[in-house]
């Protein structure tokens, strides 16, 4: 009986895979005969084209990112840039007044928020507020329900920041942003992966591939690469673009860039903590070279993991969509 139902499941899986392959071939149309794998005629170029439909980072956010890296910038300069974007300013005030920051008094202006919380914290808030809508969507192809990718991204941002502290990496805020954006490629690719997911999962299971390797085998590229293209399109700094593009395979030309190593490890910590497990689940490998680059050992990682679980619990107000909702509150209770 059990064997029979097993056979049925297998037959169903085969049927699903061949149907997926057929749909992919159909989607590919009658164009070029070349492609990375059966049915995988969705090209990286067509995916990158889809990046056009992704909301760009508001210019105020890009400006703030550049400003906070500049020593000569004052809190007032940052506040005045944020104030040019009313929706952004409203969300920053809402966040600053959330219980998470525990400020002794209500923050009424963006300048106050910058003075009380610091420029870099406000910068992170701005980036989180600007990307929340995009990262909160359901990413069906990766089996991520509404809000799952956001929770995973935010947890990864916190983990990257914590690892940066332990590893004495000087740009902790950079680590936060890289962690937050590392899986942005899934948002675009998710639409296309939805069709290929059965094939990808089959390769993960039968060939012991990581999810990323299977994505590449089926599609010819992966969500990290797509994420790198998005970062380039958003004009994000090169180390950030590299951290996003290489977060699963951090070794490039025989070495691992520190920011990439932070995001790589942070991502795996979040998977271990069970935050945002989608279709790729635990099919990822930790790079020893990433640990070496940061001078961290297994005990450091275990300690950060334990603290991360606690930190995520503490940061619940940030994880809830309410704090970052697009529309400013209507002024009632």
Interface residues with Fe ion (CB under 5 A) are 183
**Residue 85 or 183: which CB sits closer to Fe ion?**
183
CA nearest neighbour of 284 among 187, 182, 209:
209
CB of 141 to Fe ion, least distance (A): 13
Please state, as a whole number, how many other Cβ atoms lie within 10 Å of the Cβ of residue 105: 8
CB of 105 to Fe ion, least distance (A): 40
**Residue 173 or 183: which CB sits closer to Fe ion?**
183
Contact indicator for 237, 225 with CB cutoff of 8 Å: no
Residue least distant from Fe ion (Cβ)? 183
**Residue 95 or 279: which CB sits closer to Fe ion?**
279
CB of 183 to Fe ion, least distance (A): 5
Q: What is the DSSP string of 247-283?
A: SSS-EETTEE-HHHHHHHHHHHHHHHTTSS--TTTT-
* Neighbouring residues of 278: CB distance < 8 A, sequence distance ≥ 6: 139, 142, 143, 144, 148, 149, 152, 186
For 166, 207, 271, the CA distances from 216, given in Å and listed in that order, are 33, 13, 20
**Residue 50 or 103: which CB sits closer to Fe ion?**
50
**Residue 123 or 186: which CB sits closer to Fe ion?**
186
Q: How far is C-alpha 316 from the chain's CA centre?
A: 18
CB of 229 to Fe ion, least distance (A): 14
286 DSSP 8-state letter = -
Contact indicator for 57, 130 with CB cutoff of 8 Å: yes
Looking only at the bridges linking them, the beta strands covering 255-256 and 251-252 are: antiparallel
CB of 144 to Fe ion, least distance (A): 11
CB of 211 to Fe ion, least distance (A): 8
**Residue 39 or 276: which CB sits closer to Fe ion?**
276
């Amino acid at each position: 009986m059990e064997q029979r139902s097993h056979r049925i499941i297998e037959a169903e899986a085969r049927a699903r895979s061949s149907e997926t392959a057929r749909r992919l071939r159909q989607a590919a149309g009658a164009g070029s005969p070349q492609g990375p794998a059966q049915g995988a005629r969705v090209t990286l170029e067509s995916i990158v084209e889809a990046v056009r439909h992704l909301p760009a980072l508001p210019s105020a956010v890009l400006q703030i990112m550049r400003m906070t890296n500049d020593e000569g910038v004052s809190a007032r300069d940052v506040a005045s840039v944020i104030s040019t974007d009313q929706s952004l300013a409203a969300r920053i005030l809402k966040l600053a007044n959330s219980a998470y920051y525990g400020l002794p008094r209500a923050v009424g202006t963006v300048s106050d928020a910058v003075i009380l919380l610091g420029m870099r914290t406000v910068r992170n808030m701005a980036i989180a507020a600007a990307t929340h809508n995009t990262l909160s969507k359901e990413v069906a192809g990766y089996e991520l329900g509404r809000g799952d990718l956001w929770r995973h991204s935010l947890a990864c941002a916190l983990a990257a920041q914590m690892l940066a502290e332990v590893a004495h990496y000087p740009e902790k805020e950079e680590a936060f942003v890289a962690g937050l954006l590392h899986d942005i490629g899934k948002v675009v690719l998710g639409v296309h992966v939805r069709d290929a997911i059965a094939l990808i999962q089959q390769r993960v299971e039968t060939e012991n591939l990581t999810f990323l390797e299977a994505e590449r085998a089926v599609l010819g590229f992966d969500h990290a690469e797509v994420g790198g293209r998005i970062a380039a399109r958003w004009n994000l700094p090169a180390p950030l673009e590299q951290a996003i593009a290489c977060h699963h395979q951090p070794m490039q030309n025989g070495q691992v860039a520190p920011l990439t190593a932070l995001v790589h490890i942070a991502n795996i910590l979040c998977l271990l903590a069970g935050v945002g497990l989608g279709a790729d689940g635990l099919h990822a490998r930790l790079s020893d070279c990433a640990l070496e680059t940061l001078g961290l050992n297994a005990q450091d990682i275990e300690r950060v993991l334990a603290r991360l679980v606690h930190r995520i619990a503490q940061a619940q107000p940030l994880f809830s969509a309410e704090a970052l909702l697009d529309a400013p509150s209507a002024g009632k209770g």
